[in-house]
Amino acid sequence: MAAEPDSVVFRVTNANLSGSIEILRALGGLAVYPEAYQALVLERSSRELQSPPKEICLARQTFEALPREVQQLLMAEPC
């Protein structure tokens, strides 16, 4: 059995990105999920400035610590 990668990389729709940020904000945001929250907000800000969507990369441990609902939004297939 191969070892799992140390990071999770994904692309996310604007709607799922904003939804994930709102869920995390309600649960403590930067104080509780600093690495993930910062990465998601940075990507949303970049998109608001008309930059093309980029892949988001989180450490596997950081991703796995997120609420299941947020994980599902982030891993949903982009339309």
CA distances from 58 to 1, 17, 50, 64, 77 (A): 23, 14, 23, 10, 17
What is the predicted pLDDT for the residue at 4? 59
Domain ranges of the chain: 7-75
60-76: average pLDDT: 97
Helices 14-26, 68-75: axis angle to 10 degrees equals 170
Specify the DSSP class assigned to residue 8: E
pLDDT digits (tens, 9 = 90+) for 10-58: 999 999 999 999 999 999 999 999 999 999 999 999 999 999 999 999 9
Q: Is the pLDDT of residue 3 over 90?
A: no
CA distance 22 to 10: 18
